[in-house]
Amino acid sequence: MNTETIFNIFPVCDDDIISSIGFRVHEYSGTDDEKINFLLSRVEIDVKEMAYIKVSDNFKVKLPNGEEVAGLTKERFNNLLHNGTEQILYEPIFQIFDASQSPLSVSTMFVDGEIIITKSVKFEAIPKTKFTEKITESVPEHYLSKFTTKDGFNLGDLINEDFIEGIRIMFQNQKYVSCSKLLMSAIDTFAFLEFGDVRENFKNWLINYCDLSIVKVTADQLWEYRNSILHMTNSRSRKVLQNDVKRLAFYVSDNEVDFMTTNGEANYFNLLTLIKAINKGIENWCDSYNVDRGKFESFVDRYDSIISDSRYNKIHDN
C-alpha cells in the first residue's frame, strides 16, 4: 500500500488571537481511518515537536493598542470551521510539502500553551445513491483557495469571474438592458462587501472609487437609475417622476457623442464609458486591500454569503 503525506495541524491561539500555525508531517500507509487514528495518537508528541508558519497577511487583527498584526480571532477561525474553509490557513504548509489537492490532516487547537479538544468532527463523502451519483461538483472549490497564489489573494480575478464575465457576455451579445441590470447589481454587491448592509453604500462606493465625471453622471443619478431599472425595467424612479433627479438613458458608442448629452427630458450617457469607469473603480477598490489589509477579514465574512455563477452543484440527467 502506498504511503501518503499526512499532517497534524495546530492553530496556535494566544489571548484569543491565532497568529501562527504549528504542524508535524508524517508519511503513513493505511486506510483513511487508520491514518486519522495515527495522527490523533501523535497529538501529544507532535505538539512538542511542531514547526510553525505565520498566518498569512491576508488576515489582520487590530490589537487594543491600535496595532494591526497578521492573524485572526478565535471567533473568525470558528467561522471558517463552520464554513468548512479553514484549510485556507494551512495551504502554505501543504504547498511546502507538495501535498495532494485534498491532503489528509487533523487539526487540534493549541490555546495558551494547552491542547484543546472540544469535539471531534469527521467529514465523509456523500454516499452514492441514484440521486447523489448525478452530482458532479458536490463541494465546489472554495474561492479563497482558487484565487490565492504565491503572491497573495487575487481579488481582481475573483471579481472578474463572479461579476464582470456576465456583464461582458451581455454587452457583447447586444443585450444592453440586461447588461445594465447586471452592472447595477454588481455595484450593489461591491458596496455591500466594502461597507456592509448600510444606507448610501451604493453611492459611497461610486464616490470613493470611480471617476464618474468621464461619464457625465452623478452617483445620485445612477442610484435612481439603479432603482428603476432593477425593479421596473424603466428609467423613471419615484425621484425622477418628482423631478428631484434628472432621468438617465444610455446609448452605446465607441466614442462620446456630444449631441446625445441631453434632450431636455433626460441625460444620456454612454454605457461603454460607464463600464470602463466601473472597471477602473474595481481596480482602485482592489488596490485598497493592499493599502489596508485589515479590510480583508470583513470582506471574507461578507463574501461567504455571496452566490456565484461558478460555484453550484450540477445535476446530470443520465
pLDDT tens sequence across 264-281? 667 889 999 999 999 999
- What are the start-end ranges of the H helices in 242-304? 271-291, 295-303
β pairing state of 17-28 and 51-54: antiparallel
- pTM of the predicted protein model: 0.60
pLDDT higher than 70, residue 316: no
pLDDT higher than 90, residue 101: no
DSSP class of 212: G
Q: Tell me the residue ranges of DSSP E strands in 85-224.
A: 105-107, 109-111, 114-116, 148-149, 152-153
Please, which pLDDT band fits residue 129 given cuts at 50, 70 and 90?
very low
Output phi, psi for 236, to 5 deg.
-125, 85
pLDDT winner (highest mean) among 51-65, 67-81, 173-187: 173-187
For residue 181, what is its C-alpha cell? 441590470
Output phi, psi for 206, to 5 deg.
-60, -45
Stretch 202-223: mean pLDDT, rounded? 94
pLDDT of residue 138: 34
